[in-house]
């Protein structure tokens, strides 16, 4: 069946085909039963005719003859069963009476009737043959009586009986099909109502579909659709929130760039112009970082689709190389950046993830630690591996984050007051989105020393 065939048509087709096959099988069985019974009944009548003729066998002066009145012969030949012919032969198979062109049969024993099909005068016939004893002073032996009739009457009766059975059964099959059709229509009516509800919905309405009125077999499909609608609603809400946040955050630096540009155009002193251009450069760098982080956040957010570039990767090697890339930046700010592998390479540290996103996640953690750690401080990247999980941590000895604000700093554009720094408030929110997208979780803890922060990420390990 092609893809445009409805479920109703498929169900009715799969029901009607077996019904048609069963009806044909039943019609054939009825025909076979009718043929058997008609054959037995007609064969018995044919044998009775042969016996009636055999009872009229006489012997006179050493000669066998059949004392059958002409009226009886005419009655036999014109009976309702059809045209009947007979032949009687003597002990030596000599012709006695009847139709001489009937082919005689070979009988094995006396008194045992033999039935067989034959052709007589280009017409199919049924033959009954029986041997009857003849014992007189002159003749001792067996006379053979052959009686045959055409098959026309038999076939007509078989056809009438077969039709008599087949027509009511066909009507019953049609009635069953009508009942099934009505039942299928009633069973699919909730789906029709559901389709109408979906068709009349606005494209903005992503509320769950009702599952109370649908059949139990369809309920898992509706629940899956509701789960999809929920994910789509989450993605659209996240997208709308991202657009609103991006518009709000970009408006201020762009307005500042425009103001400083207009100010530089009105200034004439080279020193003033240079100072303004320096501020423009700083603002442009800040805006560039903000745009880059917004783009990273957009890529890290759940979009209703699974991560496309998932692969098994060595997170320990990725962490080591990423840390190495940030060493120049740390040295520039006077920060001691180090890397510790608690497993010492003994336990494989593999996760199923996106290399770009995981590198972005670790880079944001390191960058956040470097920005808020005073000169001369320390930042350490740590990794621990177990058979089920990989724990990645970035620890610093900076001012730390108050426990009451550790959850808040994971939200977008949130910054702890009084910490200084040049951040945009997006780094940790990007980290959280990437971690969630990889099936992990992030915690912000107090560092092992008296001050500082430990950002701890746990990801599921793969073999």
Q: What's the CATH code of the domain at 381?
A: 3.30.565.10
Tell me the three state secondary structure of residue 267.
coil
Residue 252 confidence (pLDDT): 60
Domain final residue pick, 300, 330, 356: 300
The pTM is what?
Answer: 0.47
Residue 88: which CATH number? 3.30.450
Give the model's pLDDT for residue 125: 93
Would residue 453 count as lying in a domain?
yes
Domain count, the chain: 3
Q: Is the dihedral of CA 61, 63, 69, 70 positive or negative?
A: negative
Per-residue pLDDT of the chain (463 residues; tens, 9 = 90+): 455 567 778 888 888 888 889 999 999 999 999 999 999 999 999 999 899 888 888 888 778 888 877 766 666 655 554 578 899 998 888 898 888 999 888 877 666 889 999 999 889 999 999 998 887 777 788 889 999 999 988 999 999 999 998 999 999 989 988 888 888 888 778 777 877 878 888 777 888 888 777 777 778 888 888 888 888 887 777 777 766 666 655 666 677 777 778 777 877 788 877 887 787 777 776 667 666 666 666 665 555 444 456 788 888 889 999 999 989 889 988 999 999 887 645 666 788 888 888 888 898 889 888 888 888 899 999 998 888 889 999 999 888 888 878 777 777 666 655 455 555 566 687 788 888 888 899 988 888 766 788 899 999 988 7
Which of 138, 158, 178 marks a domain boundary? 158
> For residue 107, what pLDDT is reported?
78
| Same domain (yes/no): 257, 278 | yes
Tell me if 250 is assigned to some domain.
yes
**205, part of any domain:** no
Distance CA 421, CA 238 (A): 27
**Of 413, 407, 397, 385, nearest in space to 447 by CA:** 397
Question: Are 385 and 456 within one domain?
Answer: yes
Q: 384 with 339: CB under 8 angstroms?
A: no
Task: State phi, psi for 222 to the nearest 5 degrees.
Answer: -65, -40
Q: How far apart are the first and last CA of the chain?
A: 44
Residue pair 405/415 in contact (Cβ under 8 Å)? The answer is no
Residues 377 and 429 reside in one and the same domain:
yes
Residue 320 and residue 453 in one domain: yes
On whether both 72 and 105 belong to a single domain, the answer is: yes
Q: Are strands 441-446 and 378-385 parallel, antiparallel or unpaired?
A: unpaired
Tell me the C-alpha distance between 166 and 163, whole Å.
Answer: 5
Same domain, 357 and 395: yes
Distance, CA of 330 to CA of 381 (rounded, Å):
13
**Do 325 and 280 lie in a common domain?**
no
- Domain of residue 278, residue span: 219-300
* 140 and 12, same domain (yes or no): yes
| Alpha helix stretches (DSSP H) within 140-151 | none
Q: Report yes or no on 189 lying in a domain.
A: no
Nearest-angstrom CA–CA distance, 285 and 236: 30
* Cross-strand bridge partners of residue 457: 392, 442
CATH label of the domain that carries residue 295: 1.10.287
Residue 57 lies inside a defined structural domain of this protein:
yes
Please answer whether residues 151 and 100 qualify as being in contact, where contact means their C-beta atoms are separated by less than 8 angstroms.
Answer: no
64 forms beta bridges with 59
**30 inside domain:** yes
Is the same domain home to 290 and 420? no
Burial 392-422 (b: 16+ CB within 10 A, else e): bbbbbbbbbbeeeebeebbebeebbeeeeee
Query: Do 399 and 430 belong to one domain?
Result: yes
List pLDDT tens digits, range 388-444: 889 999 999 888 888 878 777 777 666 655 455 555 566 687 788 888 888 899 988
- The last residue of one of the domains, among 116, 141, 158, is 158
Q: Are residues 340 and 292 in the same domain?
A: no
Question: Is residue 330 exposed (0-12), middle (13-18) or buried (19+ Cβ within 10 Å)?
Answer: buried
Around Cβ 16, how many Cβ atoms within 10 Å?
Answer: 16
Q: Residue 28 is encoded by which pair of tokens?
A: 């054939």
357 located within any domain? yes
Helix axes 355-372, 315-325, angle to 10 degrees: 40
Residue 35 domain-assigned (yes or no) = yes
Query: 85 in helix, strand or coil?
Result: strand
SS (HEC) of 92-124: CCCEEEECCCCCCCCCCCCCCCEEEEEEECCEE
| Contacting residues for 86 by C-beta, under 8 A, at least 6 apart | 49, 50, 53, 76, 98, 99, 102, 145, 146, 147, 148
Q: Where are the alpha helices (DSSP H) in 373-421?
A: none
Pair of tokens at residue 257: 């760039």
What are residue 446's DSSP bridge partners? 453
Task: Please check whether residues 97 and 126 belong to one and the same domain.
Answer: yes
Position 1 scores a pLDDT of 46
């Amino acid at each position: 069946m092609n893809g445009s065939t409805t479920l109703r048509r498929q169900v009715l087709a799969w029901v009607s085909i077996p019904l048609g096959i069963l009806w044909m099988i039943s019609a054939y069985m009825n025909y076979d039963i009718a043929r058997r019974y008609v054959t037995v009944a007609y064969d018995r009548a044919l044998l009775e005719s042969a016996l009636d003729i055999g009872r009229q066998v006489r012997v006179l002066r050493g000669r066998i003859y059949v004392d059958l009145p002409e009226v009886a012969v005419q009655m036999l030949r014109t009976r309702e069963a059809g045209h009947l012919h007979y032949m009687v032969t003597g002990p030596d198979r000599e012709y006695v009476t009847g139709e001489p062109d009937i082919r005689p049969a070979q009988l094995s024993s006396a008194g045992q009737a033999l039935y067989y099909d034959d052709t007589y005068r280009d017409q199919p016939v049924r033959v009954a043959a029986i041997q009857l004893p003849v014992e007189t002073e002159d003749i001792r032996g067996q006379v053979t009586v052959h009686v045959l009739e055409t098959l026309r009457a038999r076939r007509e009766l078989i056809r009438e009986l077969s039709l008599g059975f087949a027509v009511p059964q066909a009507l019953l099959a049609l009635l069953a099909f009508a009942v099934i059709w009505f039942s299928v229509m009633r069973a699919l009516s909730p789906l029709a109502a559901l389709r109408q509800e979906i068709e009349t919905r606005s494209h903005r309405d992503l509320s769950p579909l009702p599952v109370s009125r649908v059949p139990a077999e369809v309920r898992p499909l509706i629940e899956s659709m509701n789960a999809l609608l929920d994910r789509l609603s989450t993605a659209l809400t996240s997208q709308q929130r991202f657009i609103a946040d991006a518009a709000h955050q970009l408006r201020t630096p762009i307005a500042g760039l425009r103001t400083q540009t207009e100010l530089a155009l009105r200034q004439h002193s080279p020193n003033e112009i240079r100072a303004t251009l320096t501020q423009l450069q700083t603002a442009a760098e800040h805006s560039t970082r903000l745009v880059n982080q917004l783009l990273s956040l957009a890529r890290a957010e759940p979009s209703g689709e699974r991560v496309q570039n998932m692969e098994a990767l060595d997170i320990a090697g990725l962490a080591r190389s990423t840390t190495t890339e940030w060493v120049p930046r740390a040295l520039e700010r006077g920060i001691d950046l180090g890397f510790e592998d608690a497993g010492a390479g003994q336990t494989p540290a593999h996760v199923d993830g996106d290399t770009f996103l995981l590198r972005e996640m670790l880079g944001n953690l390191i960058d956040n630690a470097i920005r808020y750690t005073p000169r001369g401080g320390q930042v350490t990247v740590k990794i621990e591996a177990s058979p089920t999980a990989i724990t990645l941590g970035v620890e610093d000895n900076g001012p730390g984050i108050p426990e009451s604000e550790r959850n808040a700093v994971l939200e977008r554009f949130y910054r702890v007051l009084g910490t200084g720094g040049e951040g945009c408030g997006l780094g940790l929110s990007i980290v959280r989105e990437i971690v969630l997208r990889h099936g992990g979780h992030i915690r912000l803890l107090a560092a092992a020393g008296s001050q500082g922060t430990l950002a701890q990420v746990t990801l599921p390990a793969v073999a």
